[in-house]
Amino acid sequence: MMDLRELYQDIILDHGRHPRNFRKIEHPTHSAQGHNPLCGDRVTVYVALDGDRIADVSFQGRGCAISTAAASLMTEVLKGKTVPEARALFAQFHSRVTGAEPGAGLPEPLGEEMDRLEPLTGVKAYPARVKCATLSWHALEAALKGSGATVKTE
Amino acid sequence: MRPANLRGIYPGAPTLPSPASGGAPGRPPAKAGVPGVGRGFDPEILKREFPIFANNPDLVFLDSAASAQKPRSVIDGTADYYRTDYANVHRGVYRLSARSTELYEEARDKVRRFLNAADRREIVFVRNTTEAINLVAQSWGPAFLREGDEVLISELEHHSNIVPWQLLRDRVGIRLVVTPIDATGGLDLAAFESRLSPRTRLVAMTHVANATGTVVPVDRVVELAHRHRTKVLIDGSQAAPRLPVDVQALGCDFYAFTGHKVYGPTGIGVLYGPFDLLSAMPPYQGGGEMILHVSFEKTEYQEPPHRFEAGTPDIAGAIGLGLALDFIEGLGRENNLEHEEALTGYGVDRLSQISGLRLLGAGQRRLGILSFDVEGVHPHDVSQVLDQHQVAVRAGHHCAQPLMERLGLAGTTRASLGVYNDEADIDRLAEALEAVQEVFNR
């Protein structure tokens, strides 16, 4: 069995305790809720797009250390990215946390951002926790699609 | 630290007889071979009766409130039934079907004894507690309730004792009234009494709350409700495995429990109701088994309980439930209660020593369930660390979201006890909780 410290790395505990961009954007261009009915965790992701570029992104909600850190790190890496870049990062992140074969590599600047998300990939050893790491990303996707509906992990 | 001897757990209980002994070959054992009858019991020895522990030697199982592990007598007895006596029940002329029917109906007798119901016809087999409550809500509800009538539940309820009444509200227009807990986590009896109105037709309440372990004084609840000519349904999911239940002494109108929490199989549960009341209720589902005569114009229904058992029932489940009840009776229900109480007390003492851990209040009396909050650590993270230490607990809202909202918590970590648990299990839990602190407060 994997050492728990690989799951709960310092950076995850730090972002779990002190989440970045943990606030509401007053006039978001997009927002959506994510809900994990299994644990009752909820997250709302707010996005302010400037054209195709993410000018600001934030979140609010309550969740475990993994889901809070994942949301926090997500907002950090996404700021300034374009929507297609955000989607490419999510696709790569998703395959990394689920242990699926990684798709094509990311262009260099995105690769660095992916490295920042690396600490979260420890969840792939704990299938029940993968949803914690991806909840905010699913909410982001729903926000960008503009469906406005709450996305659920179940 | 080991405290003084635990009341109710007596070391040196006799060695167990071999698993399926006692029954004639090819028959489910009539009585489970359980240790220490009349002498209390030793969980150390009892653990050997539960094969799960042989197959998971380091497991500390503290999730019996979600579902209990199964003793050998239930596992083997159910398999034996399929091997030697299986056929569909009722109406079969051939001997095997008669034998199967006999075993199925024998299980009903065992449930009658377990609840001390007056009449075997008062025992309806259902899938689980949830189905039992839905049966009452969908059969008794529309037949006896009108718009504006009130169903009174408490803040302690599991979703299964909330949602069926909401469905009934949407269908019939009843009002769903919620009575609060007090500051200690117990049922506020004064508030309860004040919410009983001339329109209250049913009180539906848990006996032991699954999220907190609060023992509700259901005898007082029944007394007060009956003074208002209000019927009472008790959700006994957590009580049946822990407390002796006597529905006649209690005087309740419905009592529901599920098999898998009393060490029986999944898929089988029980609704108890007095025969006259059940007889006045229309069928819940239609089909075979529940009819007397069917023509395309009209159908005459069977009497209870068969009226409510449409279709081929979970025959093996019922038989397995009977074996599980034999098992508990074999231990002695007072002994079982004594064990649960002593170990609950030990758990409260042990967990109270852990800094940053807050036990949820359970009012005047707590039984078998320790629900707690670890400051600054989400319950899922707590249970992740506990799992690493082979300690199985539950984390989250425990299907009691309104209660969690009321307590201002997203969820809790819940350790719950069974007959096989002992002080060493609680000690392992406490040690693992200290490891939680190490991981998250480094």
How is residue B118 written in tokens?
A: 């007056």
From chain B residues 422-441, the ones with a CB under 8 A of any chain A CB are 439-440
Phi-psi region of B22 (alpha: psi -120 to 50; beta: other; left: phi over 0): left
Nearest by CB to residue B378, choosing from A1, A7, A65, is: A65
pLDDT of B322: 98
The correct answer on CATH 3.90.1150.10 for the domain covering B334-440 is yes
* Domain boundaries defined on chain B: 95-327, 334-440
Nearest by CB to residue A129, choosing from B384, B385, B439, is: B384
Measured CA to CA, the distance from residue B119 to residue B85 in angstroms comes to 26
User: To the nearest 10°, the Cα dihedral for B178, B182, B188, B190?
Assistant: -110
Neighbours of B75 (CB within 10 A): 19
Q: What residues in A contact B411, CB-CB < 8 Å? A: 39-40
DSSP B296: S
pLDDT of B337: 95
Q: What residues in A contact B404, CB-CB < 8 Å? A: 40
Instruction: Please report which helix (H) or strand (E) contains residue B299, including its range.
Output: strand B299-301
Measured CA to CA, the distance from residue B272 to residue A65 in angstroms comes to 44
Which of the residues A39, A123, A129, A154 would you substitute to probe the B interface, choosing the one with the greatest number of B C-beta atoms within 10 Å? Answer: A39
Asked if the model's pLDDT at residue A48 lies above 80, the reply is: yes
Residue type, A142: A
Nearest by CB to residue A38, choosing from B378, B384, B396, is: B396
Whether residue B381 and residue A13 make contact (CB cut-off 8 A), yes or no, is no
* Domain boundaries defined on chain A: 4-152
State the pTM of this model: 0.89
C-alpha separations of B34 from A38, A96, A139, B15, B40 in Å? 37, 50, 53, 9, 11
DSSP B23: S
Asked if the model's pLDDT at residue A64 lies above 60, the reply is: yes
Nearest 5°: the CA angle B272, B244, B17 is 110
Distance of CA B6 to the CA centre of its chain: 25
Catalytic residue set of B: 399
Q: For domain B95-327, give the fold.
A: Aspartate Aminotransferase; domain 2 (3.40.640)
Domains B95-327 and B334-440 share a fold: no
> Chain A residue with minimal CA distance to B376?
A17
Asked if the model's pLDDT at residue A55 lies above 50, the reply is: yes
Q: CB within 8 A of B369, min separation 6: which ones?
A: B65, B208, B209, B210, B211, B212, B213, B238, B344, B362, B414, B415, B416, B417
> Chain B residue with minimal CA distance to A63?
B378
How is residue B122 written in tokens?
A: 């008062």
List the alpha helices (DSSP H) in B230-378: 247-250, 275-279, 315-331, 333-352
pLDDT of A149: 62
Distance of CA A79 to the CA centre of its chain: 12
Q: In a 3-state reduction of DSSP, which class is residue A79? A: coil
DSSP B137: I
For B102-118, the DSSP string reads HHHHHHHHHHHHHHT-S
The per-residue pLDDT string of chain B (442 residues; one tens digit each, 9 = 90 and over) reads: 333 333 333 233 333 333 333 333 344 443 444 444 334 567 778 999 999 999 999 999 999 999 999 999 999 999 999 999 999 998 888 999 999 999 999 999 999 999 999 999 999 999 999 999 999 999 999 999 999 999 999 999 999 999 999 999 999 999 999 999 999 999 999 999 999 999 999 999 999 999 999 999 999 999 999 999 999 999 999 999 999 999 999 999 999 999 999 999 999 999 999 999 999 999 999 888 888 888 888 888 899 999 999 999 999 999 999 999 999 999 999 999 999 999 999 999 999 999 999 999 999 999 999 999 999 999 999 999 999 999 999 998 889 989 988 888 889 999 999 999 999 999 999 999 999 988 898 7
From chain B residues 362-421, the ones with a CB under 8 A of any chain A CB are 376-381, 384-385, 388, 395-397, 401, 404, 410-411
Report yes or no: A154 at the B interface, CB cutoff 8 Å. Answer: no
Tell the residue number behind the tokens 């005898």, with chain if given: B219
pLDDT of B5: 34
E strands, B217-268, in order? 231-235, 254-258
Which of the residues B381, B386, B407 would you substitute to probe the A interface, choosing the one with the greatest number of A C-beta atoms within 10 Å? Answer: B381
**Complex confidence, ipTM:** 0.87
Measured CA to CA, the distance from residue B65 to residue B176 in angstroms comes to 27
pLDDT of A37: 78
Which of the residues B374, B377, B380, B391 would you substitute to probe the A interface, choosing the one with the greatest number of A C-beta atoms within 10 Å? Answer: B380
Range in A71-75, A146-150, B85-89 with the lowest mean pLDDT? A146-150
Do β-strands B200-206 and B150-154 pair in parallel, antiparallel, or remain unpaired? parallel
Report yes or no: B442 at the A interface, CB cutoff 8 Å. Answer: yes
pLDDT of A153: 65
pLDDT of B40: 57
pLDDT of B336: 95
The CATH architecture assigned to A4-152 reads Alpha-Beta Complex (3.90)
Would you give the end-to-end CA distance of chain B in angstroms? 25
Q: In a 3-state reduction of DSSP, which class is residue A22? A: strand
Give A88-105 pLDDT, tens digit per residue. Answer: 999 999 999 998 876 667
